[in-house]
Amino acid sequence: MKRVAIIGAGPAGIEAAAVLANQNMEVLLFEKSLNTLSNLLDKAYLFPDFSLASDRVDKLNKKLLHPNIKLCCDTEIVDIKKDGDEWKVVDSKNTSYLTSAVLLTTGYSVFDAKRKEELGYGIYNGVITSVDLEKMIKYNQIENAMGEPPKRIVFLQCVGSRDEKSGNNYCSKICCVTAVKQAIEVKKLMPDTDVYIFYMDLRMWGQSFEEMYRESQEKYDVSYVRGRISEAASTFDKKIQIKAEDTLVGLPMKMTTDLLVLMVGMEASCGTKALADVLQIKGEYGFAQSLNCHLQDNETTQQGLFIAGSCKRPMGINETLADARSASVIIMDYLNACQENNEL
Amino acid sequence: MAKYYWNEYQKTIADDKYFYERSCIRQTFFPGSETAFLRIVREELGKDIYDEMNQHTCTGIGYHTDIVPLETTMTVVARLFSLMKDAGYTNYVPSCVTSFGVFSEMIEIWNNKPEVLEKTREYLRKATGREFDIPLNLVHPSDIIYKFRFDLKEKMKYSLVNRFTGKPLQVVEHIGCHYAKIFPEKGVGKAEFPHVLAGMIEAWGGEVVDYPERRHCCGFGFRHYLLQENRGYSIANTKKKFESMEPYEPDFIVANCPGCTMFMDKWQYTIAEMEHKTYDKDGYGIPVLTYEEMAGLLLGYNPWNLGLQLHQVQSEVLLNKIGIPYDPNEKYKGASGQILPKPERPNNLLV
């Protein structure tokens, strides 16, 4: 039985592990955290169908109950190198594992909004991130800095994405639709709350996204303002004052809000950056680089080393799962070809 | 404690051997501040600072109002740097924030465009026969006070504490735009929450007021004020700041830019005349100090030698809060010992 190491037990790692295990491969799935799916655990609902995130977590985790999968949580992989025809994977306790192929699914981390000091995250309690709001929605505890239900919530898109100041010129792809989803969720929970979304341009690229955007305006009365917020400050009564320019009417504006939600983008995770560096496959912005983005998007410059999911670039969950299945097929082809060569 | 990336940012500030360049307008509006700075650096800190006699404008105000062309500004700046070279110094310290911004900008251009640097050398040579070096370290005097704030604290006789309540004084700090907004990396703590004045206030016992319009323009803005027709914009901006800070009841304002100190001080008189409005409870206005005046007061320097009587908003209320003694009879005593004429009393702002 061929053995494959998968680094990272997020949606991509779990999906690939399940596909490979079903194809009679032995899978070693390494996760540095104590739990699998850590980025998914705090989510309430998923776009575009508002399915329960916990349901998806349960279903993905069930896939791990396969005799061919060995899950190693709390295990950080620090080195991966070619050892003859095999790969040697080494963890932080210096334990080595030999495998025929390696799949990197080390994923993303969210942008640290404290880097955008002008927006006041970590300084003012009324400034939160989309990750914080998701937790509030999940536990139905949406509160302002005074612990009261907010009368107005303002979302700001593109925090740490499409932003030269933070060094991230790329689009994180999922924030636009996430803000629309969260705005609808807020209005479902608190219909009387005013909700505004400040955007540069709304990228409703996925199936049903445009419909959600339209529904948010027609059914839920969410207001959209085209413009970036230049600064946030606390007022005397602990609200948040924002300054922006409405670029459609060409006028500066000032507004106070109970909550300012920063739609934080995706960055390469520390694990992605470190291992991409070790493996010499580091691409732009620290993400792992595929051989080419059209025909060999799961392959790398090194034979037997594959990549999938948001360690390559920002991706939503459904795209990540599809990419993981694609990587699994490529890995099986690679291992079959290796076996044929050996038999010859 | 939360990790603030920007707050950890510290610029390089030379330890000693400074070449000081005075400001055009500070000597008129805050005549004691530059003298106080030299005294602090020489006598309190024991550092070497050179006060050049043959200095001149940096062209800042003319440059920012499009009266002086860029090439002229570069050549004038180059002459100032040539004075530093002749004196044998490499650490340049311009008193004015506008000058600091102009020098930072010229150095940035020269570092990125060596051909422009060579052209400037040629212009200076043709005009004056002089040569210049780019400073190894360019800092604002407020950077130096910030760097040595804890050393100074040990020598201070007073702190920023209200002696009647025992509570920290509430201080509004205002940073000149040209200190860090043009080149954020040139300012301690960078552009949005510069720490240069906040660091002094916190070290010396006060509390910084974080009010919504903290970063808003003081109202100077060059063309906002220099063109008479635009002065409504100038005072409107200052008014916006005062309305924003008023609920926090600040004890005083400290700034590191001559324009900011002047406009936030003098527009209080104008607003009081126009609208019968002051932004303190008792009608005296909110005192506006330079950082040298703030440091000098706490070090025990005579308030009248620091020139506080030349401000529009008078400082006795603040001096009483801190517990700094002063002689009212000497308030308008000149350096020769002669009592100078007293200024006319405003109609609405109490003095």
* Residues B24-75: tens digit of each pLDDT: 988 888 989 999 999 999 999 999 999 999 999 999 999 998 999 999 999 9
Query: Are residues A216 and A248 both part of a single domain?
Result: yes
How does the average pLDDT of chain B come out, rounded? 94
Region B155-178 average pLDDT: 97
pLDDT band of B1, cuts 50, 70, 90: very low
- Looking at A219, A234, A265, which one is the last position of a domain? A265
- Phi first, then psi, for residue B19 (nearest 5°) are -105, 120
Q: Measured at the alpha carbon of residue A40, what is the angle toward residues A34 and A44, in degrees to the nearest 5? A: 130
Check whether residue A205 and residue A121 sit in a common domain.
yes
Question: Predicted ipTM?
Answer: 0.85
CB contact under 8 A, A117 and B215: no
Cβ of A122 within 8 Å of Cβ of B210? The answer is no
**Crossing angle (nearest 10°) for helices B31-39 and B291-299:** 60
CATH domain B15-139 topology: Glutathione S-transferase Yfyf (Class Pi); Chain A, domain 2 (1.20.1050)
B350, pLDDT greater than 80: yes
| Cβ neighbours around A16 below 10 Å, total | 30
pTM given for the model: 0.91
Question: Which of the listed residues A227, A246, A265 is the one where a domain comes to its end?
Answer: A265
Average pLDDT over residues B163-167: 97
Task: List CB contacts (< 8 A) between A234 and chain B.
Answer: 210, 212
User: Under 8 Å CB-to-CB from B264, ≥6 apart: which residues?
Assistant: B174, B218, B219, B238, B241, B242, B253, B255, B288
Name the residue facing A234 among B3, B190, B212 (closest C-beta). B212
Cβ(B127)–Cβ(B77) below 8 Å = no
In the CATH scheme, what is the code of domain B157-330?
Answer: 3.40.50.11810
Domain final residue pick, A239, A265, A291: A265
d(Cα B312, Cα A99) in Å, to the nearest integer? 79
Q: What is the DSSP letter of A65?
A: -
A118 in the same domain as A100: no
Pairwise CA distance, residues A224 & B35, whole Å: 55
Confidence category of residue B10, pLDDT binned at 50, 70, 90: confident
A245/A125 same-domain check: yes
Residue B134 has pLDDT above 70, yes or no: yes
Mutate to test the interface with B, among A123, A125, A127 (most CBs of B within 10 A): A123
Check whether residue A131 and residue A41 sit in a common domain. Answer: no
C-beta atoms of B210 and A114 within 8 A: no
Answer yes or no: do A99 and A117 share one domain. no
Q: Are residues A220 and A98 in the same domain?
A: no
In terms of domains, do A261 and A319 share one? no
The answer on pLDDT for B291 being more than 70 is: yes
Domain region containing A50: 3-107+269-343
Nearest CA in chain B to A123: B2
Q: What residue ranges of chain B are covered by domains with CATH 3.40.50.11810?
A: 157-330
Asked if A127 and A254 sit in the same domain, the reply is yes
Confidence of residue B4 (pLDDT cuts 50, 70, 90): low
Number of domains making up chain A:
2
Domain with CATH 1.20.1050.140 in chain B: 15-139
Cβ atoms of A90 and A49 within 8 Å: the answer is no
Q: Return contacts of B328-332, CB within 8 angstroms, 24+ apart.
A: B330/B304, B331/B304
Chain B residues touching residue A114 (CB < 8 angstroms): 2-5
Does residue A95 share a domain with residue A27?
Answer: yes
Restricting to A residues 22-81, those with a Cβ less than 8 Å away from any Cβ of B are: none
Q: Note whether B213 contacts A: Cβ–Cβ < 8 A.
A: yes
Q: What is the pLDDT of residues A47-82, one digit of tens each?
A: 999 999 999 999 999 999 999 999 999 999 999 999
- A183-A106-A11 Cα angle (round to 5): 55
Q: Is the same domain home to A225 and A316? A: no
| A231·B192 Cβ contact <8 A | yes
A209, A334: one domain: no
From B213, which residue of chain A is nearest by alpha-carbon distance?
A233
Find the CATH number of the domain harbouring A127. 3.50.50.60
Show the low-confidence residues of chain A (pLDDT under 50).
Answer: none
Query: What tokens were used for B211?
Result: 């009010």
Q: How far is A230 from chain B, CA to nearest CA, in Å?
A: 11
